[in-house]
Amino acid sequence: MEQPTALLELKDFKVHFHASHEKTTVVKGVNLKIQPGEILGLVGESGCGKSVMSQSLMRLLEYSADVSYEGNILFDGQDILRMNPQELRKVRGNEIAMIFQDPMVSLNPVFTIGNQIEEVLKEHTRLSKKERKSRVLELLGLMEISEPARVSKQYPHELSGGMQQRAMIAIALACEPKLLIADEPTTALDVTTQAQIMKLLQKLNLELGMAILFITHDLGLVYESCHRAEVMYLGQTVESAPGRDLFELPKHPYTKGLAASIPSLTGARKEKLPVIPGIVPSLKENLGGCAFAKRCPYATEKCFQQIPPVFSIGEGRAIKCHYDIDQGVSLL
């Protein structure tokens, strides 16, 4: 399945935070690829480093924290980590765009929606003022907003959560980016709106051929909408698989735990929803073996002593585990 033309490729990507002479590594060597036009899910519990990773793809963290990176972020063959501020600005909002978890706080409260969309166009295109205005209305229409002209003159607080997120997406899509990073875009919304936004994102992916990196903690959403997904645990990816398989046939013990802890709507109601035992270890802990070993029901002596490598198991699937649990065999 190796395709040389990945849109975005992470090579042994690490993010370190520095605070008072202490280094904390939050993203611990991630390798992944996003193909053009693909929706890639990134799943994990809160605190697993998925948000940090997604924000560092455009290097948005370095302003508010003391961070350093290792590895490569290759976008269209160019390394984002080695770009100067000018090159970086050309990518941001133009080639890669991003939407965040809570649209209410992600939109600037003192500017109108129209102004905030237009601003991106002004930065990255040579459209005239009139062309920009009509592009704004076009974008809002694309977001299935019924009265684009009225909404473009409104302030964020005058809109509902769903409308705000649509406006955020309109900002993100203004310059037709090749990749959209969506960091839990539906978490702050109610269930109905959530479904609408997901549908919209899928539609945009199909119509515009824009790749999406979809960050979520919800395996269900991955099942419904992602072509492929990566599971992240403690700053590392532990399993990668097609979106549906991840839910239906999880291989890694951690993914199994995640899938099992989702209540099923069909079938017999279980006595008690299974939970993954234990707590997520601190990022600072230096683990000699598998990061999940402590909480893993299948862990053996080996798991505590050796860091498992990534094994390819079947078509488009890989896990970072010593064993193939289902077969009951060691992968070495």
211 makes contact with other proteins (CB under 8 A):
no
* Residue selected from 18, 90, 150, 199 as contacting other proteins according to rule CB under 8 A: 90
* Residue selected from 13, 75, 100, 247 as contacting other proteins according to rule CB under 8 A: 100
119 makes contact with other proteins (CB under 8 A):
yes
**Three-state DSSP state, 313:** coil
Given a contact cutoff of 8 angstroms between Cβ atoms, the answer to whether 180 and 99 are in contact is: yes
- Taking Cα atoms as reference points, which of 91, 51, 104 lies closest to residue 215? 51
Q: Min. distance of Cβ 194 from other proteins in angstroms?
A: 18
Q: Min. distance of Cβ 96 from other proteins in angstroms?
A: 8
150 makes contact with other proteins (CB under 8 A):
no
Q: Min. distance of Cβ 85 from other proteins in angstroms?
A: 8
The residue (of 187 and 306) whose beta carbon lies closer to other proteins is: 187
22 makes contact with other proteins (CB under 8 A):
no
d(CA 321, CA 325): 9
76 makes contact with other proteins (CB under 8 A):
no
SS3 letters for 254-312?
Answer: HHHHHHHCCCCCCCCCCCCCCCCCCCCCCCCCCCCCCCCHHHCCCCCHHHHHCCCCEEE
- Residue labelled with tokens 């060597």: 29
d(CA 286, CA 25): 10
Sequence letter at residue 272: K
- Residue labelled with tokens 């697993």: 48
Binding segment toward other proteins, per CB under 8 A, in 68-76, 155-163, 190-198, 202-210: 155-163
Binding segment toward other proteins, per CB under 8 A, in 44-52, 115-123, 234-242, 253-261: 115-123
**In DSSP terms, which residues pair with 324 in a beta bridge?**
329
108 makes contact with other proteins (CB under 8 A):
yes
The residue (of 70 and 123) whose beta carbon lies closer to other proteins is: 123
* Residue selected from 15, 98, 276, 293 as contacting other proteins according to rule CB under 8 A: 98
Q: Min. distance of Cβ 77 from other proteins in angstroms?
A: 20
Binding segment toward other proteins, per CB under 8 A, in 91-99, 200-208, 248-256, 300-308: 91-99
The residue (of 24 and 300) whose beta carbon lies closer to other proteins is: 24
Given a contact cutoff of 8 angstroms between Cβ atoms, the answer to whether 14 and 28 are in contact is: yes
Per-position DSSP letters for 188-228, written without gaps between them: TS-HHHHHHHHHHHHHHHHHH--EEEEEES-HHHHHHH-SE
d(CA 76, CA 311): 27
Q: Min. distance of Cβ 57 from other proteins in angstroms?
A: 10
Please give the residues from 51 up to 70 whose contact with other proteins meets the rule CB under 8 A. Answer: 55, 58, 60, 63-64
173: left (phi over 0), alpha (psi -120 to 50) or beta: alpha
Binding segment toward other proteins, per CB under 8 A, in 1-9, 23-31, 95-103, 262-270: 95-103
Which 8-state DSSP code applies to residue 29?
E
d(CA 106, CA 249): 36
247 makes contact with other proteins (CB under 8 A):
no
97 makes contact with other proteins (CB under 8 A):
yes
- Residue labelled with tokens 């995640």: 258
Given a contact cutoff of 8 angstroms between Cβ atoms, the answer to whether 26 and 52 are in contact is: yes
The residue (of 110 and 268) whose beta carbon lies closer to other proteins is: 110
* Residue selected from 123, 218, 224, 324 as contacting other proteins according to rule CB under 8 A: 123
For other proteins, the binding residues (CB under 8 A) are 55, 58, 60, 63-64, 85, 89-94, 97-98, 100, 102, 104-111, 119-120, 123-124, 155, 157-158, 168, 171
